[in-house]
Structure 1
């Protein structure tokens, strides 16, 4: 269930899985990827006498196309997944197969992650700094999907593809290409996963995987440990300190070279331009780094706000500088931008109510006339929003101002 999901997704615990997602969208399949996709479609669309027969034929097809999936069991038992790929005992791919949808009470994703835990838990205790990435292939009847498994301080699993129908019509070229891209992405991920496990005892030659070396030892945090400084274009290393809010991807960190405290944030959308404009006017923390990561993620690196500031919602006396807030927002609007989410949690003010404030959270910010609200915009008893502030609608400058006015008592503004 969503409430039990780890805040940090597998795609931020290991770059291979974000890359897999990107490859499923953009990779150009090889001729053999296309052949394998066509064969899987033709064979797996058929009926099998039982789960064992379907799993056996699935492994055979993969082996014929140089994907070495084997059937194994858990040591000392007669049980095991319907296929796995391993390097010196480390499983980096696990397959779970069902004869048809609903053919057994067991849920294939749950079975697969339980096998991952059984195969990995002893290794995780012996090598707690390694993340033990594994791709899970789930085949249920003529449907196939892919999931990521990573070990932090606990096992984590994340579905990283839609369920693909292998029984698509032969004329459905769009679906055929989609399946082939997923096959190509799987091949590429398997090569990268093998390199990870081969590099456990020696430094990896792949720079994208270098965090697995002893330099980066804490799997409790996302995998990026460096950023390119916007001002100097130099690479800056940092060390995570803690997760500032366990419900959000927000971390404190320390820059390695000068011990400067950083705020690291991971988001799916963000306006670099609006943040920089507000920062240049002195109304936002300095933006130090802006990194696009695999899987549709962005890493935002900014200076840490000092202890003499707090959120506006924490101020218990009337805040006297509301007109300055309105003036800055109007200036932003004249420049052609909206903030998009003006709340008392996103306005940072001086604790002693002296002049000076900052705007934060530019996830919804952008150009007026282009920027739209994301999915699942909340409005209700805990938060008022103006009419039109709804999923998919344009974010208007007047929405910013109406949200600001709603924070303060009537008659506050001149």
Structure 2
């Protein structure tokens, strides 16, 4: 007698032989999908009032990530898909001279759109009669352009927020389960509220992440020619992104079903260098996210983990542009795969020269490369050094070895000799690295964050600096203030108190 057992894909995925880490992550991600689909409000019915908006941004803050509250965001969506990255890149220089002009026919249509948008309408449907169609998605399968229209700003709701909610309910729909296993479902969102046009991009990893790229009142006025040209350029960039996404989804369709082996590559960035950069770009395979304490995770489970722009990756050793002698003893090459594990950080500002100066003296991890990528960010690829952050010892109420202070003091002196100010000499940026096996090879200190470094007397601190923190109490550091070597000296004195005395 022959017995046939019919099982679903879900049952197969639960079997031990398919219980790889990748499959476990994808199953966990799918388990959240139904929760998100049933708890995140739908756009028009539940998010058109103040109470409804609060339900979205407060009650669902761990599922819907669009920048509200202030800490509810992740790395920019444009890092996760190249079409979105290029859209971000093309939308930035709209007021500069661009070699490729917008087509005249598009400029005529844009002029008409701006005139139409400036009128007042009795309802959204009435506005649609004149060409601004409410609640539209593109006809492609899957849809990857979502448009929401609100007749006027006020009690009817926020069009961009509702576009994000519409996307959330599209991406979590049961018919797109296979697509979720293959991609992070990148989309373009357009919100029309009165004569305000907003263009955003979004992806889905452990939840929906959305970033606003363009926001403009469609106003002609005395600068009508300039305003028409600016919007024409923005819509030209958007049309190119739609073409890029069309090609992206066509390529996904060409692959029958899910990959033979579960892949989680789409949960990680796929950064694109800016077109003008001609330097070295390593081949990276992202493997994990890194938390503030250096813990490797696959899916973010807290606000702090979601906001982190730091990852673990591997790259072929032949792609490295540093010598083995430059690396720390705690970061050996994987001789079995001829690859090297690296830390990849995405940040809006960085000082690679300061990093290299200290790395040459083993006072910082070796720097492989610092690449400008789409999203107005730098991708910093550095050696992975094993150790712990200085703040972890403080949490245990332990003093650090005096040698750590000596190393950090030497690092600051070296930067000052090049007329550079480190700027952010707090314990989260100081690493304690195990030494070698010799009698004099105890723990060593390293600096690991060069985001704030600037030239003495000319560089400025970030405008977002929180001067209320006790860390700045004795250093006179201020928002957007001029950087001074004396600030480093004052903070070095504070750090000395956290170390044993000589």
Which TM-score applies when normalising by structure 1? 0.81
| Whole-Å separation in 2 of the counterparts to 1:375 and 1:265 | 21
Q: Report if the CA contact (8 A) 2:368-2:383 is conserved.
A: yes
1:124 to 1:304, Cα distance in 2 relative to 1, 3 A = farther
Q: What is aligned with 2:319?
A: none
From 50, 73, 79, the counterpart of 2:123: 50
From 275, 279, 282, the counterpart of 2:359: 279
Q: What is aligned with 2:165?
A: 114
1:237 to 1:412, Cα distance in 2 relative to 1, 3 A = closer
From 215, 237, 240, the counterpart of 1:188: 240
- Name the SS of the counterpart of 1:132 in structure 2: coil
Matched, 1:311 2:402: no
Write the mapping of 1:235-254 to structure 2, written as runs, cut at 5 A: 235-245=282-292, 246=305, 247-254=307-314
Q: Report if the CA contact (8 A) 2:347-2:378 is conserved.
A: yes
Matched, 1:293 2:340: no
Q: What is aligned with 2:444?
A: 356
Q: Report if the CA contact (8 A) 2:351-2:451 is conserved.
A: yes
| Whole-Å separation in 1 of the counterparts to 2:499 and 2:348 | 38
- Name stretches of at least 5 consecutive residues in structure 2 with no aligned partner: 1-67, 274-278, 293-304, 317-336, 436-440
Q: What is aligned with 2:202?
A: 149
| Whole-Å separation in 2 of the counterparts to 1:234 and 1:114 | 36
Q: Report if the CA contact (8 A) 1:17-1:160 is conserved.
A: no
Q: What is aligned with 1:347?
A: 430
| Whole-Å separation in 1 of the counterparts to 2:388 and 2:282 | 31
Write the mapping of 1:83-102 to structure 2, written as runs, cut at 5 A: 83-87=136-140, 89-102=141-154
Q: What is aligned with 2:28?
A: none
| Whole-Å separation in 2 of the counterparts to 1:213 and 1:18 | 28
TM-superposed deviation, 1:319: 2.8
1:147 to 1:56, Cα distance in 2 relative to 1, 3 A = farther
Segment of structure 1 superposing worse, 372-381 or 391-400: 372-381
TM-superposed deviation, 1:155: 2.5
Q: Report if the CA contact (8 A) 2:309-2:346 is conserved.
A: yes
Q: Which runs of 4+ in 1 moved over 6 A?
A: 212-216, 410-414
1:355 to 1:131, Cα distance in 2 relative to 1, 3 A = closer
1:16 to 1:284, Cα distance in 2 relative to 1, 3 A = same
Q: Report if the CA contact (8 A) 2:287-2:314 is conserved.
A: yes
| Whole-Å separation in 1 of the counterparts to 2:250 and 2:195 | 33
1:214 to 1:158, Cα distance in 2 relative to 1, 3 A = farther
TM-superposed deviation, 1:255: 2.8
1:242 to 1:123, Cα distance in 2 relative to 1, 3 A = farther
Q: Report if the CA contact (8 A) 1:216-1:225 is conserved.
A: no
Q: Quick check: which one's strand share is greater?
A: 1
Q: What is aligned with 1:9?
A: 76
Write the mapping of 1:332-343 to structure 2, written as runs, cut at 5 A: 332-343=415-426
- Name stretches of at least 5 consecutive residues in structure 1 with no aligned partner: 60-70, 72-80, 204-211, 227-231
Segment of structure 1 superposing worse, 31-40 or 333-342: 31-40
Aligned residues: 377
Q: What is aligned with 2:295?
A: none
CA deviations 1:292-315 (Å, max 9, x no partner) are 111201111111112xx3222333
From 296, 308, 315, the counterpart of 1:255: 315
TM-superposed deviation, 1:157: 2.0
TM-superposed deviation, 1:7: 2.2
Q: Report if the CA contact (8 A) 1:18-1:296 is conserved.
A: no
Which TM-score applies when normalising by structure 2? 0.68
- Name the SS of the counterpart of 1:156 in structure 2: strand
Q: Report if the CA contact (8 A) 2:401-2:500 is conserved.
A: no
TM-superposed deviation, 1:382: 4.3
Q: Report if the CA contact (8 A) 2:272-2:373 is conserved.
A: no
| Whole-Å separation in 1 of the counterparts to 2:345 and 2:281 | 20
Segment of structure 1 superposing worse, 13-22 or 399-408: 13-22
| Whole-Å separation in 2 of the counterparts to 1:100 and 1:213 | 49
1:369 to 1:243, Cα distance in 2 relative to 1, 3 A = same
- Name the SS of the counterpart of 1:383 in structure 2: helix
- Name the SS of the counterpart of 2:242 in structure 1: helix
- Name the SS of the counterpart of 1:253 in structure 2: strand
Q: What is aligned with 1:367?
A: 455
Segment of structure 1 superposing worse, 134-143 or 3-12: 3-12
Q: What is aligned with 1:408?
A: 496
Q: Report if the CA contact (8 A) 2:350-2:453 is conserved.
A: yes
Q: Quick check: which one's helix share is greater?
A: 2
